[in-house]
Structure 1
Amino acid sequence: MKIAIISVSNKGQELAFRLKNKLNEDSTILKTDLYHKNVKNHFPILFYEYDAIIAIMASGILIRAIAPLIESKITDPAVLNVDDNGNFVISTLSGHLGGANNLTNKIANLIGAIPVVTTSTDVNKKLGIDVLANDLYLSIENTHEILFFNKSILEGKQINFTINPNKNFNYLFNYLKNITLELHLSVFYSDDINTDEIHVTLDNHKIILKEKRIVVGIGCRRGKECLKIYEALKNSINEINIDKSRINLLSSAEIKSDEQGILELSDKLNIPINFVELNKLKLFESNDIQKSEFVYSKFGIYGVCEPSALITAGFDSKLIYKKTSYDGVTIAIAISK
Structure 2
Amino acid sequence: MKIAIISVSDKGQKLAVTLKNKLDADSTVIKTDLYHKNVKKYFSILFYEYDAIIAIMASGILIRSIAPLIESKVSDPAVLNIDDNGNFVISTLSGHLGGANELTKKVSKLINATPVITTSTDVNKRLGIDVLARDLYLSIDNTDEILFFNKSILEGRQISFIVNFEKNLDYLYKYLKNNTHEIDVSINYSSKINTDEIHVLLQNHKIILKERKIVVGLGCKRGKECNDLYYGLKKSLNDLKMDISRINMFASAEIKKDEKGMLELSDKLNVPINFVDLDKLKLFESNDIQKSEFVKSKFGIYGVCEPSALITAGFDSKLIYKKTSYDGVTIAVAISKY
Q: Same fold judged by TM-score > 0.5?
A: yes
Cross-structure match for 2:231: 231
Cross-structure match for 2:135: 135
Cross-structure match for 2:12: 12
Q: Distance in 2 between matches of 1:143 and 1:20?
A: 33
Q: Report the AA paired with residue 273 of structure 1.
A: I
Q: How far has the Cα of 1:332 moved from its partner? A: 0.2
Cross-structure match for 2:294: 294
1:75-109 deviation line (CA, Å, top 9, x unaligned): 00000000011010000000000000000000000
1:47-100 deviation line (CA, Å, top 9, x unaligned): 001000000001011000000000000000000000011010000000000000
Q: Are 1:164 and 2:161 matched, yes or no?
A: no
Cross-structure match for 2:66: 66
Helix, strand or coil for the counterpart of 2:194?
Answer: coil
Q: Distance in 1 between matches of 2:180 and 2:297?
A: 49
Q: Are 1:314 and 2:314 matched, yes or no?
A: yes
Q: How far has the Cα of 1:176 moved from its partner? A: 1.1
Q: Could you tell which deviates more after superposition, 203-212 or 177-186? A: 177-186
Helix, strand or coil for the counterpart of 2:80?
Answer: strand
Superposed, 1:113-192 pairs within 5 Å as 113-179=113-179, 182-192=182-192
Q: Distance in 2 between matches of 1:16 and 1:89?
A: 13
Q: Report the AA paired with residue 139 of structure 1.
A: S
Q: Report the AA paired with residue 107 of structure 1.
A: V
Unaligned runs of 5+ in 1: none
Helix, strand or coil for the counterpart of 1:68?
Answer: helix
Cross-structure match for 1:324: 324
Superposed, 1:44-123 pairs within 5 Å as 44-123=44-123
Q: Report the AA paired with residue 51 of structure 1.
A: D
Cross-structure match for 1:263: 263
Superposed, 1:212-291 pairs within 5 Å as 212-291=212-291
Helix, strand or coil for the counterpart of 2:258?
Answer: coil
Q: Distance in 2 between matches of 1:188 and 1:131?
A: 21
Unaligned runs of 5+ in 2: none
Q: Report the AA paired with residue 3 of structure 2.
A: I
Poorly superposed stretches of 4+, deviation over 2 Å: none
1:203-228 deviation line (CA, Å, top 9, x unaligned): 11000000000000000000000001
Q: How far has the Cα of 1:179 moved from its partner? A: 2.9
Cross-structure match for 1:42: 42
Q: Report the AA paired with residue 174 of structure 1.
A: K
Q: Report the AA paired with residue 239 of structure 1.
A: D
Q: Distance in 2 between matches of 1:195 and 1:241?
A: 22
Q: How far has the Cα of 1:178 moved from its partner? A: 1.7
Q: TM-score, normalised to structure 2's length?
A: 0.99
Q: How far has the Cα of 1:180 moved from its partner? A: 6.9
Q: Distance in 2 between matches of 1:169 and 1:217?
A: 22
Q: Report the AA paired with residue 209 of structure 2.
A: L
